[in-house]
Amino acid sequence: MEIIIEGATISLLKGDITLEETDIIVNAANSRLAGGGGVDGAIHRAGGPAIMEECRKIGGCPTGSAVMTTGGKLSARFVIHAVGPIYKDGLHNEPMLLESAYRGSLKLAVQKGVGSIAFPSISTGAYGYPVDAASKIALSTVLDFVGDNKGSLDLVRFVLFSDPDYGVYSRTLRSLTE
């Protein structure tokens, strides 16, 4: 599914984010930038050791923030490592921290002057954030950002790893834009 807002394409697709050819792909990282399972493991496996080398130099990244490294062997030129919150009950600043992880990534992309960025569904795997609530935060943050930064990004894509996640994100995008 795809919509165009303020000249920017917002696109949803089901697949493996490591294969994306956007300028940047975003990793759902942990605050130690230590690698791990899920999309983090997949990105480091596909991108090779250059990414972890830079992560070690950076040292860490607080929850709700994002840092950038090379894309190594990936098609993407850069990886943004965004640290979403571990979901407890929704009453521990999780919504604000998730929004901030997305917003920080978008800001880094614009600072770098690139046109396209792809996100996974941050925090909704091992970190347990309910997908429906997370999709509302993810998509409304992106829609707000492209509205406030017209002409800066051509393409913001979400690469969802399962049919159910794709369905949830599609419903949310429709309800936020109709």
Closer to ligand ADP by CB, 11 or 152: give it.
11
Catalytic residue among 16, 23, 40, 163: 40
Q: Is there binding between residue 116 and ligand ADP (CB under 6 A)?
A: no
Would you count residue 96 as binding ligand ADP (CB under 6 A)? no
Judged by CB under 6 A, which stretch of 60-68, 109-117, 125-133, 149-157 contacts ligand ADP? 125-133
Both ends of the chain: CA-CA distance in Å? 14
Binding status of residue 117 toward ligand ADP by CB under 6 A: no
The CB-side HSE value for 177 (13 A sphere, CA atoms) comes to 22
In the list 123, 135, 141, 172, the residue contacting ligand ADP (rule: CB under 6 A) is 123
Q: Which residue has the tokens 């950076």?
A: 58
Size, binding site for ligand ADP by CB under 6 A: 20
Which residues does residue 123 pair with via DSSP β-bridges, in sequence order?
Answer: none
Which of 24, 125, 136, 145 contacts ligand ADP by CB under 6 A?
A: 125
DSSP E strands in 8-162: the ranges are 8-14, 24-28, 66-70, 78-82, 116-119, 155-160
Has 40 been annotated as catalytic? yes
Q: State yes or no: residue 169 binds ligand ADP (CB under 6 A).
A: no
Determine, following the binding rule CB under 6 A, whether residue 121 of this chain makes contact with ligand ADP: yes
Footprint on residues 139-168 left by ligand ADP (CB under 6 A): 159, 161, 165
CA distance 71 to 78: 4
Structure tokens at 53: 């080398």
Q: Which residues of 122-132 are buried (b: 16+ CB within 10 A; e: fewer)?
A: bbbbebebebe
CB of 18 to ligand ADP, least distance (A): 5
Tell me the per-residue interface mask from 2 to 41 with ligand ADP, x by CB under 6 A, - otherwise.
--------------xxx---------x---------xxx-
Q: How far is CA 140 from CA 21, 44, 45, 103, 175, in A?
A: 24, 28, 31, 10, 10
Q: Do 141 and 109 form a contact (C-beta atoms < 8 A)?
A: no
Q: Which residues are catalytic?
A: 40
| Interacting residues toward ligand ADP by CB under 6 A | 16-18, 28, 38-40, 42, 84, 120-127, 159, 161, 165
